[in-house]
Amino acid sequence: MRKILPVIGVVIIVGILYLDAFGWGSNGHRFINRNSVYHLPNQMQLFIQDSSFFALHASDADGRVNSSDTSLYAEAPRHYLDIDDYPNFHNLPHSLDTLIALYGWERVKDNGTLPWATMWNMDSLVNQLRRGDWTRAYLTASDIGHYAGDAHQPLHNTWNYNPGGLHSRYESTMLSPTYYLSQLYIVPDSVHYVSSRINFIFDYILHSNSVVDTVIHGDTYAKAISGWNGSGTAPAAYYTALWDYTRVMTLDQMQRATETLASLWYTAWVDAGLILPTGVEAPPLTRAMEFSLAQNYPNPCNPTTTISYTLPVGGTVFLKVFALDGREVATLVSENQSAGRQQVVFDASRLASGAYVYRLQLGGFAQTKKLLLLK
């Protein structure tokens, strides 16, 4: 529960409200809103091509937070659910009315309205799509992305949301361009139709709550490794250790957030009657258009080999070769390419025999494979 004690003072109160408002920081929200389109079926091309719009409006919801609005429907409590503040929270009733009857609307509001805010916006999106109001629909879709993003930031799903200032260290500083933002990626997957939206939302919130400990233990670990005692600014060594500890979980949460958002958007399209739910099972054409990096051929090679890959959408593509110690030894592609199948011949005549890694990157996602050069 967000209890703001009067003795804390004005400056810290402002700080707390600020932290409440920014799940993942603006970088993380942009990443989620931009990359979710990679999971969508081709029938949603209209959405896929506008990923930069969703990225641009990824944090509009934070901009609407107004601390003087204390109603149940205010913007501020829409960004979190302190689910573990409730007793027996794994079996928490999903109905807002039931919760209010059990715990009173002030406690319900203080604990956050994230699941229902997502529901309200889904209803709006379906209606806007149904009547062809694309301008509003795109903004609502961006907001749903924001709330789905918040629901995948573990610390937005617990009463213990800011132990020792960890909240912004984890979501903003660690994932800033100075530190590990560039290490985020997702693997394109597919969407599914969400038949019970409220159950689906509570499932992912409970999952996020289950990984809160990973963030908190990561903080303890990073302090021990870096020797930082928690006062003043954390050193780079702290963030390196925090990233090491939380990396696998954080990447998994980004993957889950983007798949969740894509499935919510897809569900709204189906419910608005824009596409048939046959896209649930991706047809062969869609499968063939997924992001994929093939094994080079021949492999082992001497000294030339062909690398092919498939791009689901166009964009700036990088294909680079690295030695096993991480040294970059060749850039094979660094340009804008269109969707579809591509291939490039790699001439390794100036390299020594041995194993190398090649990495394909398009926007926020990447794939890596190993090749062997035997001279």
Binding residues for Zn ion, per CB under 5 A? Answer: 23, 79, 150
Query: Nearest 5 degrees, angle CA 52-CA 38-CA 171?
Result: 65
Partnered with residue 335 across adjacent β-strands are 317
Shortest CB 221 distance to Zn ion, Å: 27
Shortest CB 4 distance to Zn ion, Å: 18
Shortest CB 59 distance to Zn ion, Å: 7
- Rounded Cα distance between 131 and 272, Å, is 9
Shortest CB 188 distance to Zn ion, Å: 25
CA 252 from centroid of its chain's CA atoms? 9
Shortest CB 48 distance to Zn ion, Å: 24
3-state secondary structure (DSSP) of residue 277:
helix
Q: Pick between residue 82 and residue 150 the one whose CB is nearest to Zn ion.
A: 150
Shortest CB 128 distance to Zn ion, Å: 21
- State which residue has the least CB distance to Zn ion: 79
Q: Pick between residue 18 and residue 228 the one whose CB is nearest to Zn ion.
A: 18
Q: Pick between residue 114 and residue 174 the one whose CB is nearest to Zn ion.
A: 114
For 254, phi then psi, to 5°, come to: -65, -40
Shortest CB 18 distance to Zn ion, Å: 11
DSSP per-residue string spanning 8-68: G-HHHHHHHHHHHH-TTHHHHHHHHHHHGGGGS-GGGHHHHTTHHHHHHTTTHHHHT--TT
- Give CA separation, 242 vs 133, 200, 246, in Å: 44, 30, 6
Shortest CB 88 distance to Zn ion, Å: 27
Question: Cα dihedral sign for 119, 121, 124, 129?
Answer: negative
DSSP per-residue string spanning 190-216: -----S-HHHHHHHHHHHHHHTHHHHH
Q: Pick between residue 150 and residue 259 the one whose CB is nearest to Zn ion.
A: 150
- Token duo for residue 295: 């094994």
Helix axes 236-271, 197-210, angle to 10 degrees: 170
Q: Pick between residue 9 and residue 63 the one whose CB is nearest to Zn ion.
A: 63
Q: Pick between residue 115 and residue 188 the one whose CB is nearest to Zn ion.
A: 115
Q: Pick between residue 190 and residue 258 the one whose CB is nearest to Zn ion.
A: 258
Q: Pick between residue 158 and residue 190 the one whose CB is nearest to Zn ion.
A: 158
- Rounded Cα distance between 251 and 340, Å, is 26
DSSP per-residue string spanning 64-112: T--TT--STT-SGGGG---GGGSTTGGG----HHHHHHHH-HHHHHHT-
